[in-house]
Structure 1
Amino acid sequence: MQNGTVKWFNADKGFGFITGSDDKDVFVHFSSIKTDGFKSLEEGQKVSYDVEQGYRGPQATNVVPQ
């Protein structure tokens, strides 16, 4: 698991980016957020996550808001 901060997240479109501790941005889709109810993230929110190689590059999975 890695730790990072939400750079931005568009709840209407269901995706955004997380900036990792290595200062690299990783794509995040709402379906990868591990919470109950409405799955969204807030700018500046701390998260932990795994990274998988997606079709267009690195993608966050198992995203857990902190």
Structure 2
Amino acid sequence: MIKVTRFNGSELTINATLIEVVEATPDTVITLVNNKKIVVREPVDEVVQMITDFYKTIGIVGLQVRQNAGC
């Protein structure tokens, strides 16, 4: 779950696994898989970072594999 802020100042907690798209229009709009749209104060980069952190917390994002040239 990620916590975001609506423009009226109220906080909202969203299940990050239900987020389909995050876009700047120029306000940040989060579109869920059910096509519901939520406009929030946080910039897109911050929302994406919150989603990534959430995925890491629940183990969806694995470790990055490093590839070395010549090995």
What TM-score do you get using the length of structure 1 for normalisation?
0.32
More helix by share: 2
More strand by share: 1
What TM-score do you get using the length of structure 2 for normalisation?
0.31
Higher relative contact order (CA 8 A, sep 6+): 1
